[in-house]
Amino acid sequence: MSTAAILQELEQESTTTRRVLERVPADKLGWKPHPKSMSLGQLAMHVASVPGFICEWATADVRQLAGNFGPPQPASRDEILAAHAASLEKSKAALASSGDVGLDRMWQLNTHDGQSVMAMPKGALIRSVGMNHVYHHRGQLSVYLRLLDVPVPSIYGPSADDNPFAART
């Protein structure tokens, strides 16, 4: 795994993620499909922010959890989009400082009292927790949009609302 490959995927996926985030209705940020679910705004903020903070986590060898760390409730879609742009920049900077050799170094997550929760190479942290995790929640976000009757953008292919492959007339 190379930082160049991760950066290329990050750039490509961030464009798709931004399309989904741009569809989040600003007047529905507090909406939840179920009482146990994150609100639309919290989920969108989570999707927007995860790559940046996970890539930053990978700049250290050990990360210690501190308290509750749920996503904040944003006040606007602009706040979500700004968080997404900042996350992309943080990711790029963290990957540049890490370099290819840094991706092979071990990383560990500990509880507040020092108990190890997980350990893996930093490259695996970025791929699984930083990127795959976002793709999972981006899919969840697209379901929220569908439930709110918001047109869902194309993600990896056509959606019922957006088909970039259709003939243009």
Instruction: Give the confidence band of 169 by pLDDT, cuts at 50, 70, 90.
Output: low
Instruction: Give the confidence band of 20 by pLDDT, cuts at 50, 70, 90.
Output: very high
Burial level of 32, CB count in 10 A (0-12/13-18/19+)? Answer: middle
pLDDT of 39 higher than 70: yes
The residue extents of the domains of the chain are 3-147
Domain 3-147 in CATH 3.40.50.2300? The answer is no
Cα angle 80, 145, 150; round to 5: 105
pLDDT tens, position by position, 5-17:
999 999 999 999 9
pLDDT tens, position by position, 114-154:
899 999 999 999 999 899 999 999 999 999 999 999 999 99
pLDDT of 71 higher than 90: no
